[in-house]
Structure 1
Amino acid sequence: MCMRYTLTHTEEFVSAFGISCGEIEGRYNIAPTQDAPVLVAEGGAIVCITARWGLVPAWKKDGECGEWLANARAETLAEKAAFFDLVQHSRCIIPASGFYEWKRERGISYPFYFTIPSRPLFGMAGLCDWWTDPESGILKATFTIITCPSNDLVARIHNRMPVILEEDDVTPWLAGPYVPDVLQPYPDARMAILQVSQAVNNPAHEGADCILEAGKSDWW
């Protein structure tokens, strides 16, 4: 599962993905229903667009369903009506610098922040679709983040994690044939974990203090 992530180190966007996404402000608490940059294949090129997190399939009449399609399970992409065609023809990459997961103990949700020290900016695998608001006629891009079973590090906190693509898989994921083998847990030895401030629990709180280290719980 992935319900919050960060997008910082934006000055490395070109070196990480080979394209520019214009001026992007650092963000520390991106949540479902918010807009965020995503990469898509368009006209034979990779481009950066703004999309809403929470997939709304093009055939849906009610846009409110998007909040509940924030994630898509890698194991069942070919079985779900909302994802079946998209995984073949409308894949995307969500640029990120880290993601959060929560551990609930004694009635309290403790947030943890996962990063890749060697990759300050990386890409999470996703699906994208364009939905037309029936009232305004406005076409809106929406996306979902693909998740997989957790590696050993993330599994200490949660049983699922976002699919993080290797650098060599970025272009093939966007423009090549669908290869489900890339939807695997990222190696835990290359990742880092940090217990952080509970400020991130509130999606309205978007400051850099969201990733400040918190005092470890007695069970952690």
Structure 2
Amino acid sequence: MMGIQLRVSLALLCGALLLMGCVQDRPIVSMPGGRNSMTLEEQREWVAEHLDAAVTASNISSGWTWKGGAVEPLWTGAIDEDRSMILESLFPNNCGDNAGRLDMSLKNTDAEDPLAATARVREFWESEGHAVRDLYATHNDIEPYFIVDFEDGGSFSMQAGATGMTMSVHTACAAGAMVRPRGSSGDDPANPFAEELERRGEGTASVD
């Protein structure tokens, strides 16, 4: 009888150790955590605020375009209307039951030194007291790729190479009547950005 109990105890202990190993072995790219009650408009404001802060820190004011769809309008530039329409075209992606978050990326292929610009953005987030982690620590000299996880559950990431750089933001998951994830019940709202581009005769943009 004691032998059976001993074997059961050892099995339970091994299972617990394996479980602890799985919990500690987390992937380097973690999804933004936490949920809040941000409205869609507040999520859009969060996206704009964090992208603007990073663009300013990069010291590269022009050439940033929205990385989404066949048409890539300017986030910074002479056409102010594009910026507003980009934000209005953003709708949440599903991140859980009745919860959604906004994801958006900007790219720049015009900067003379994208590696230096990316380093300045990294230094800015660190100076703000945010922890910065590397996706590929061994690539920092040629293809830096870092991630910032904010306390509110959102995140920022940036990568660069010899020919350009990309920055991305992800809001925290938000649950509430004002945030309806794409793919949930009901028809998706009309995309004013696509409609405006069609009016201009420039084609339509696909917001994925």
> What TM-score results when the alignment is normalised by the length of structure 1?
0.24
Bigger proportion of residues as helix: 2
Q: Which has the larger radius of gyration?
A: 2
> What TM-score results when the alignment is normalised by the length of structure 2?
0.25
Q: Which has the higher contact order (CA 8 A, sep 6+)?
A: 2
